[in-house]
Amino acid sequence: MTALLANSKKVQFSGKAKEITASAHFRLMILLLVFLAAFTIIVGRLLSLTILEDAAPYRVSTSTFVPPRGDLVDRNGVVMARTMRGYAIRVVPARLLGDTDVLSRQLASIFPDTTAEEFSEKLSGSRPTYLRRRALPEQVKQVHALGEIGIEFPREDERLYPQRELAAHVLGYVDADGKGVMGMERALNERLADENLRATSTMLSIDSRVQAALESELQDAMISTQARGGAGIILDVQTGEVMALASLPMFDPNKIRKASMKHQNNEVTQSVFELGSTFKPFAVAAALDAGTVTDLAVRYNAMEPIKVGGFTIKDDHSQGRYLNVPETLVHSSNIVTARIADNLGKERMENMFRRLGFDERPHIELVEKGHPIWPRNWGRVTNMTVAYGHGIAVTPLHLASAYAAMVNGGIWRPATLLKVPAGEEAEGRRVFKAATSARMRQLLRMIVSDGTGRKADAPGYRIGGKTGSAEKPSQGGYNKTSLVSTFAAAFPMDNPRYVVIAMLDEPKGTAATSFQRTAGWTAAPIVRKVVPRVGPMLGVIPDEHRDVDVSELTPLLWKPKSRPKEQSHATE
**Residues marked as catalytic:** 277
User: What does the alpha-carbon distance between residue 87 and residue 452 come to, in Å, rounded to a whole number?
Assistant: 55
Compute the distance between CA of residue 340 and CA of residue 93 in angstroms, rounded to an integer: 73
Residue 7 to residues 10, 18, 21, 491, Cα–Cα distance (Å): 5, 17, 21, 114
CA dist., res. 74 & res. 432, Å (int)? 32
Reduced DSSP (H G I as helix, E B as strand, rest coil) percent helix, strand, coil of the chain, to 5:
40, 20, 40
DSSP-derived letter for residue 466 is: E
Which residue in 238, 282, 322 sits closest to 466, CA to CA? Answer: 282
Beta bridge partners of 411: 430
Q: How far apart are CA 118 and CA 112, in angstroms?
A: 11
Closest CA to 237 of 434, 398, 408: 408
Other CB atoms within 10 A of residue 16 CB = 10
Cis? peptide before 249, omega within 30° of 0: yes
- Kind and range of the H or E element at 277? none
Of 530, 534, 544, whose CA–CA distance to 494 is shortest? 544
* Per-residue H/E/C for 199-212: CCCEEECCCHHHHH
Report the distance separating Cα 284 and Cα 177, nearest Å.
52
CA–CA dist 118, 114 (Å, integer): 7
The three-state secondary structure class of 518 is: coil
Interacting residues of 69 by C-beta distance below 8 A, sequence separation 6+: 83, 157, 159, 174, 178, 192, 193, 198
Helix extents (H) in 455-571: 519-522, 524-534
